[in-house]
Amino acid sequence: MPGIALLLMAVVPGPPAVAEAAIDKDKTAQATKNLKRMIPGLKGASISPAPVPGLYEVVVGPDVLYVTQDGRYLIQGNIIDLETRENLTAPRVAQAATDAIAGVGEESMVIYEPKETKHTVTIFTDIDCGYCRKLHARMDEYLAHGIRIRYLFFPRAGMQSQSARKAIAVWCADDRNEAMTLAKSGQKIEMRSCENPVSSHYALGEQMGIRGTPALVLEDGEKLPGYVPPDRLSRYLTQKAAGQQ
């Protein structure tokens, strides 16, 4: 929870329901005020009524939390509708993840482009991870399937590790894509340093609960942990797009 508290930094009221706009707006404003009182300096979050009366949804980066209107109780977990057996939190978490990744900006990613893009997959990767290297070695096959690969750096051993230094060197190379391929094949690259997004990628991965690499995030926010071969990934993405998943 301390990490969550540090992340909560401005509250922007979400749009109320049209039917009782004035009442909902007042209640949301009160919940916002109470939450800011309990967590001083609250920024960078959004708050809106939750599906359960009396609770408010707080979105902080990729995290979805719930708070009571008095701001006293902060709740982590899923809301399940027992009548419909529907997880009401899961789609909100997925949307929060896609929004957080979009906030990174493609200019801060290392991207491999196919001739024709059918799907885009964002991958948290570690330069020295064995399965990350196995995935990268088959990059041409992913691209042949029309899968656009966007890399975010996630040195599993932390920002003081050699893997992190390699990630920074890749980012600072004249040709990042080539440097990534060389590094992942075990070849030496020039260990440069410059302004880079590696630490912010790593922090986002931690917020999203990434523990191992590669970690794939699909366009709808679904996370697939571990290595997925090109054919299998292509088949899954195609079926998903057709509504068969």
Residues 176-232: tens digit of each pLDDT: 999 999 999 999 999 999 999 999 999 999 999 999 999 999 999 999 999 999 999
Q: Where are the alpha helices (DSSP H) in 44-194?
A: 90-104, 130-137, 139-144, 162-172, 176-184
pLDDT of residue 63: 87
pLDDT of residue 42: 59
Region of poorest pLDDT, from 37-51, 132-146, 205-219 = 37-51
194 among known catalytic residues: no
Catalytic residue among 92, 126, 133, 148: 126
Beta carbons of 9 and 44 less than 8 angstroms apart:
yes
Region of poorest pLDDT, from 43-47, 120-124, 150-154, 159-163 = 43-47
pLDDT of residue 193: 95
What's the token pair of residue 83? 């009548």
156 among known catalytic residues: yes
For residue 17, is pLDDT > 60? no
Domain locations along the chain: 2-88, 105-241
pLDDT confidence band for 134 (50 / 70 / 90): very high
pLDDT confidence band for 245 (50 / 70 / 90): low
Q: What percent of the chain has pLDDT over 70?
A: 82
- What is this structure's pTM? 0.81
Catalytic residue among 24, 63, 128, 132: 132
Query: What CA–CA distances, in Å, run from 227 to 23, 70, 116, 120, 205?
Result: 49, 44, 23, 16, 17
Span 56-65, mean pLDDT?
87
pLDDT of residue 102: 95
Rounded CA separation 237/59 (Å): 27
pLDDT of residue 71: 79
pLDDT of residue 11: 39
For residue 140, is pLDDT > 60? yes
129 among known catalytic residues: yes
Span 8-27, mean pLDDT?
49
Of the options 3.40.50.300, 3.40.30.10, 1.10.3720.10, 3.10.180.10, the CATH number for the domain spanning 105-241: 3.40.30.10
Pairing of strands 74-75, 223-225: unpaired
Span 78-105, mean pLDDT?
94
For residue 35, is pLDDT > 90? no
172 among known catalytic residues: no
Of the options 3.10.450.70, 3.40.50.300, 3.30.70.980, 2.40.50.100, the CATH number for the domain spanning 2-88: 3.10.450.70
Catalytic residue among 129, 133, 148, 172: 129
Catalytic residue among 128, 148, 156, 172: 156
Query: What CA–CA distances, in Å, run from 164 to 156, 193, 227?
Result: 8, 11, 20
